[in-house]
Copies of this chain bind each other. A is one copy, B any other.
């Protein structure tokens, strides 16, 4: 998989950036260090000026890649979902049994991220932390409808729709396949957050993971549905 991914590029909607950060060394440094910095100080405190200082570059040069830090966040989360989607499709493509396929899918979307060395300038473990802690801010804005229309969130939506399809294949008459799919993704992220900051609001920890909870929830729901109509 590693070798294959080295030739693969996660395709991000061109409207999100002014200049493709994958097209230059500076662009890659922007991505690499924005991940480190947002993880370290949080999205609110993160600025292009501070980023410029640590990558030894000028604020104005960063503005030639991204209009503002919000679009950079949209880029980073899109990249993450594209990367996860790739893993998902790769791992489940050959599977035929709907149950196995759904199980594998849940395992992939809810597992703790491990470093993937295929993309040397992207730290996937930290990017996953950013998705847990910051990604809601990319769509909880007044501009969400406009940006959605422009296609900023297509990768995420495609991911939810893939999950929806797997749910339908396993339980064709279930009434809420897309609501369950979106709940799986958001719910998993939220349980990861609670595990780290509000342990009394979750039963998840290092032994019973958010993935275990979600798998239990999904299969209890769909099995009950399949057996009782």
A177 interface residue per 8 A CB criterion: yes
Q: Describe A's contact surface by its main secondary structure.
A: helix
Residues of B within 8 A of A181 (CB): 201
Residues of B within 8 A of A225 (CB): 220
A183 and B217 in contact, given A141-B42, A198-B148, A202-B178 (Cβ under 8 angstroms): yes
> Which listed residue (B179, B190, B222, B224) contacts A183, Cβ 8 A?
B190
Copies of the protein in its oligomer: 2
Report the bound CA distance from A193 to B148 in whole Å. Answer: 13
Report the bound CA distance from A139 to B27 in whole Å. Answer: 31
Residues of B within 8 A of A180 (CB): 217
B141 x A176 contact (CB < 8 A): no
B176 x A216 contact (CB < 8 A): yes
- Near B by CB (< 8 A), chain A positions 148-190 give 148, 153, 157, 160-161, 175-183, 186-187, 190
Report the bound CA distance from A191 to B187 in whole Å. Answer: 11
Residues of B within 8 A of A176 (CB): 203-204, 208, 213, 216-217
A200 and B161 in contact, given A140-B136, A191-B182 (Cβ under 8 angstroms): yes
Residues of B within 8 A of A3 (CB): none
Which residues of chain A have a CB within 8 Å of any CB of chain B? 41-42, 44-45, 133-134, 136-137, 139-142, 144-145, 148, 153, 157, 160-161, 175-183, 186-187, 190-191, 193-194, 197-198, 200-204, 208, 210, 213, 216-217, 220-225
Can you name 19 A-B residue pairings with CB atoms under 8 Å? A41-B142, A42-B141, A42-B142, A45-B142, A136-B137, A136-B140, A153-B198, A160-B201, A175-B203, A179-B203, A179-B210, A182-B190, A182-B201, A182-B202, A183-B183, A183-B190, A183-B191, A220-B222, A221-B224
